[in-house]
Amino acid sequence: MRLHPEKGVAILAPIEQLKGVLPGILHHHERYDGTGYPDQLKGEAIPLEARIITVADSFDAMVSVRPYKKGYTVEDALQELQRCAGTQFDPVVVSCFCDHMKQKLKRL
């Protein structure tokens, strides 16, 4: 499981059009506090694309129903992102994501 970022990059690397997104893919399991993988990057040393993917991927994992768990409500998932901002997630990315989602929910 912990090797899937590197394996994903290895699979996609030959595709010229995807070269620009490879750092985002490789580092989407880094944590803002530096305890993630594969390189234990910290804060803004993590490529912005990866910080964005991390928040979106985590939100999707939280709200998704899986055979082994119920999905969170959107509101609960947003609260969890905010709770982990600054440790697991970039607080600026979390703030932007949550603001966007709240605006989107108001329009429904």
* Residue 57, SS3 per DSSP: helix
Which CATH number is 29's domain given?
1.10.3210.10
- Cα–Cα distance list, 57 to 12, 15, 17, 25, 91 (Å): 18, 22, 22, 11, 15
**Range of the structural domain that residue 16 is part of:** 4-107
Reported as a single tens digit per residue, the pLDDT across 6-64 is 999 999 999 999 999 999 999 999 999 999 999 999 999 999 999 999 999 999 999 99
**Residue at token pair 């506090």:** 33
73 contacts 65 by C-beta, under 8 angstroms: no
How many domains is the chain partitioned into structurally? 1
CA 68 – CA 38 distance, rounded (Å): 26
The pTM for the full model equals 0.92
